[in-house]
Structure 1
Amino acid sequence: MSQNKITIELCMRDQKFIINNLYPLYLHDLAEIRGELPNKYGVFEEDDEYKTLQQQIPVFDIWWENKKVLYPYLIKVDQLPAGFALIATPP
């Protein structure tokens, strides 16, 4: 029986697109728990402000701009993206 290798690493800016790619899947998974549906454009957001996933990307830039306060981690299984954790220090 082979063991999967799980790693958790700080996600650098040049790899932030991976978290951007995983984020809609995260929202989809949460939608069932929270009883939410996507907006009329198929984007999981509370209002119709976001028409595309591309519009959500700048929202995440803050995670790479506040390096001593916000920490975006990428979780990998056997070197493939499996999830992420966005950690903030206390105010």
Structure 2
Amino acid sequence: MTISLNPITKDEKQILLNLYSLYLHDLSEFTDNLEVSSNGSFEFDSFNLIWEREGLSPYLLRKDATIVGFLLLLERPFLTKDYDYSISDIFILKKYRRKGITISLLKTLFDQKKGKYYVLELVSNEPAVLFWKNVYRKLNIVFDEKKQTVDDEECLIQTFQI
């Protein structure tokens, strides 16, 4: 079994758009700020910025040749000088969750991109909070955490150095 992070090209834009709608659907369980659009999908308002701004790096996550999800990494110059990276969004299709795939993918990412990271989760998104605590434990990552309101949502912000 090969686990890989593959940068998404502009030609694969539709794949990411499809996966993003699924991700936002899952996230809508934890916030009132997401609604389905009139065409029946969840839409990311700033989606086109991924292709227009430097520092927004999308990756397809694969197990062998099969797409299992995506990761959106924020990098400089998009971020302030305080951080090198932020894992903005990470999504794994339900049938591939809890199989260690994401831990392997994140280990690969952290091996390739060393620096200071931050991760933000909705406090109400208990599965995401538990997921990240599990990642830190399994990868022996020491992190700092604080609560902060972001866009009228109570969030946890975790920072760590790789």
Residue 65 in 1 paired to residue 52 in 2?
yes
Give the superposition deviation at 1:85: 1.0
Unaligned runs of 5+ in 2: 81-162
Runs (4+) of structure 1 exceeding 3 A deviation are: 35-39, 53-59
Match of 1:80 in 2: 66
- Out of 6, 9, 13, the residue aligned to residue 3 of structure 2 is 6
Is this contact kept in 2: 1:6–1:75, CA < 8 A? yes
Give TM-score scaled by structure 2 length.
Answer: 0.40
Number of equivalences: 77
SS of alignment partner, residue 9 of structure 1: strand
Give TM-score scaled by structure 1 length.
Answer: 0.66
Unaligned runs of 5+ in 1: 44-49
CA deviation digits over 1:66-91, x for unaligned, max 9? 2x311111111121211111111213
Structure with higher strand content: 2
Is this contact kept in 1: 2:24–2:42, CA < 8 A? no
Structure with higher helix content: 1
Alignment of 1:1-80 (within 5 A): 4-32=1-29, 34=30, 36=32, 39=35, 43=36, 50-52=37-39, 56=43, 59-66=46-53, 68-80=54-66
CA deviation digits over 1:2-34, x for unaligned, max 9? xx21110110000011111111211222233x1
| C-alpha RMSD over aligned residues | 2.7
Taking every aligned residue pair, what percent have the same amino acid on both sides? Answer: 34
CA deviation digits over 1:24-76, x for unaligned, max 9? 211222233x155974xxx1xxxxxx32267937731110112x311111111
**Greater length-normalized contact order (CA 8 Å, ≥ 6 residues apart):** 1
